[in-house]
Amino acid sequence: YQYLRRYKRRENLDNFTFVPGRIEGTEKECLECLMEFCGRSNPSWTELSNFTQFLNFQLRKCEKSVFCSLVVGDQFRGF
């Protein structure tokens, strides 16, 4: 949700790193945001769960990628 919220606001994600336990927005805002990006018009809880698990997996891989690191990241802006 932290990434999607910033993406929706067109904020720079290159310098952002997920912080577990950080609370942003309300539960309603989070659910609305997830439903907006899920890609389904009326997703079930299972579909939302699968979407968030897949997104979390991809974002963790991205954060660990050398191409997205602060050291090399300047050469690959927006990657």
DSSP line for the chain: -HHHHHHHTT---TT----TT---S-HHHHHHHHHHHHS-SS--HHHHHHHHHHHHHHHHHHHH-GGGSTTTGGGGTT-
pLDDT for res 17:
79
pLDDT, the chain, mean: 84
Side-chain half-sphere exposure of 3, counting CA atoms within 13 A: 16
pLDDT (tens digit per residue) in 41-69: 889 999 999 999 999 999 888 888 777 66
Show the tokens assigned to 17.
Answer: 């790193």
* Residue ranges per structural domain of the chain: 1-75
Distance between CA atoms of 76 and 50, rounded to whole angstroms? 29
